Structure 1
């Protein structure tokens, strides 16, 4: 690899292979952005990628921190993209040496996700319907979205792409296509079922006849609801309920996971429902509730209290 053009050509080849492997469009865009930035950095310093050393990679990351004040998680993401690209280039014999192979950044402890207590979630989901008919219809759609986010721990993109044929009302199951186009089956509760069925009574007024391939959540003009629109409606309904919380779809997913884990203790089941490929990712929800811990100890340990 002797020039910047060659490096970008290789990047295009690598991205094409990742696309064939069913990487999501969002992930591919992030890979392209991070690796392109590194290639440009090398080009400005006349550093062919084939001649890079670990010190050059360290210089690049230091430059990003100094220039853009990047967080540790952002640096880890960038390094991961560069490492995977160079690993592919080395394996394909476009590079003799991968300087990112054994390069490590010190990882910061992962912060616990923010949480909303059950009472607050109920206040949002059980708030009264608006007065006008137009706002009532909007609320029925938004309530169905909120119920599914909390009932099944769905990601924003999973709610947005949910189709009518993916909902099994008889068994109360959702067929979800998650990250990497992986499919999983997730249950949803009775209140979520009621909310979705109520919304689907409004659906024909906005869209017309039901089509199995159609998105469950649409605009008043019958178009699929966008991610930003969903985020805005979630925030709006929290504000309408008088809740002082910056509510967003992923926060409801966090609440689902934490409340499920707190009540069941079944980490594997929560992992399956969230669609996590790695159990370590799910373990961030194992919060230590010391009051609950003390209560369990007092009840369970034979020498915890006087008889």
Structure 2
């Protein structure tokens, strides 16, 4: 929503300083910075409408009414929780910078976020997808060869789609079968992958990439049809169309492959901390949702199979 009037000068200056703090000291991604700043601006425009012209005048009641107005507007609990967290981060920063003397968000609470279990594909569904991709790749189209390598690698590693399209050829260690991945917060990690993914990527490099490469390609591992680096939208489309074609899953998008990879690793006996490292989670609690997925799958299997379930 575009605001007709600008923020008061001192409030606007605080937003720009907070933006620089996120970009510089915290090294947040462009997407994260944009979301944080949008949330803070929403809060401050609401506060301005209540007569606030400087941060010291910001009170807990204003913060609560801001969240309440959005809840009444139908905003999800997940978004409300995120916006409350942003407000707390902003006022905590303002306190450290001595822009305020009391943090008004210390007692700010928002509805607890829903944590729905992520969609997970069964092994048979993954098998059907990969068989189709292998058949398509056998016809020799460079795009089909690429798509097979993309999906094999997403499932083998559980990396995010943004991490996948950001890969350069030099990030691939074919001998060790590992990837050097730049994740959230510019944190680098090494992720292993298996033999099928190695074969698919090697096939792409041997008989796919060279047919698409142009002066725009640079070192990008995966390319679009015009030779430039493959973007996230293209990767999402590839995976979404494959999942839709299955006809027997509500899962959609590349993140379903990330969820599936994590769950299959844990189902196979992988250590939780090893999976945390592979996925690039900063907190083990984030990875633990996949143990809940596995337990839920176990419960469903039990109820379907046991005569006295």
Pairwise same-fold verdict (TM > 0.5): yes
Whether the aligned pair in 1 keeps the contact of 2:158 and 2:262 (CA below 8 Å) is yes
2:265 matched to 1:256? no
User: 1:198-239 deviations in whole A, cap 9, x for unaligned?
Assistant: 11121111105998x611111121111111111111122334
Query: Deviation at 1:170?
Result: 0.2
Residue 29 of structure 1 deviates from its aligned partner by 0.5
Is 1:62 equivalent to 2:68 in the alignment? Answer: yes
Relative to 1, partners in 2 of residues 1:210 and 1:60: Cα closer, same or farther, differing over 3 Å?
A: closer
CA offsets per residue over residues 157-187 of structure 1, 9 Å max, x none? 1011011110000000100000000000000
Residue 15 in structure 1 maps to residue 19 in structure 2: yes
4+ runs deviating over 4 angstroms: 131-134, 208-211, 239-246, 291-294
Q: Is the 8 A contact 1:54 1:99 kept in 2?
A: yes
Whole-Å separation in 1 of the counterparts to 2:300 and 2:270: 16
Instruction: Give the corresponding residue for 1:25.
Output: 30
* Unaligned ranges ≥5, structure 2: 1-6, 304-309
Counterpart of 2:135 in 1: which secondary structure? Answer: coil
State the partner residue of 2:135: 129
Shift of 1:108: 4.0
Which residue in the other structure is 1:301 paired with?
Answer: none
The alignment partner of 1:264 has SS state of coil
Q: Structure 1, unaligned stretches of length 5 or more?
A: 295-307
Conservation of the 8 A alpha-carbon contact between 1:4 and 1:40: no
Give the conservation status (yes or no) of the 8 Å contact 1:86–1:98.
yes
1:210–1:229 CA distance, 2 compared to 1 (3 A): closer
Partners of 1:217 and 1:225 within 8 A in 2? yes
Query: In 1, distance between residues paired with 2:155 and 2:137?
Result: 25
Query: Are the aligned partners of 2:121 and 2:260 in contact in 1 as well (CA < 8 Å)?
Result: yes
Q: 1:243-301: CA deviations, max 9, x gaps?
A: 6554311010000001101111411111110011110000000131137889xxxxxxx
Shift of 1:47: 1.7
CA-CA distance at 1:109 after TM superposition: 4.8
Matched, 1:143 2:148: yes
| Alignment CA distance shift 1:40-1:180 (3 Å) | same
> How well do the aligned residues superpose, as a CA RMSD in angstroms?
2.3
- Equivalent residue number for residue 88 of structure 1: 93
TM-score (structure 2 length as normaliser): 0.87
TM-score, normalization: structure 1? 0.87
Structure 1 residue 266 and structure 2 residue 266: aligned? no
SS of the residue aligned with 2:105?
A: coil
Please name the residue that 1:297 is paired with.
none
Q: Partners in 2 of 1:43 and 1:179 — Cα distance? A: 33
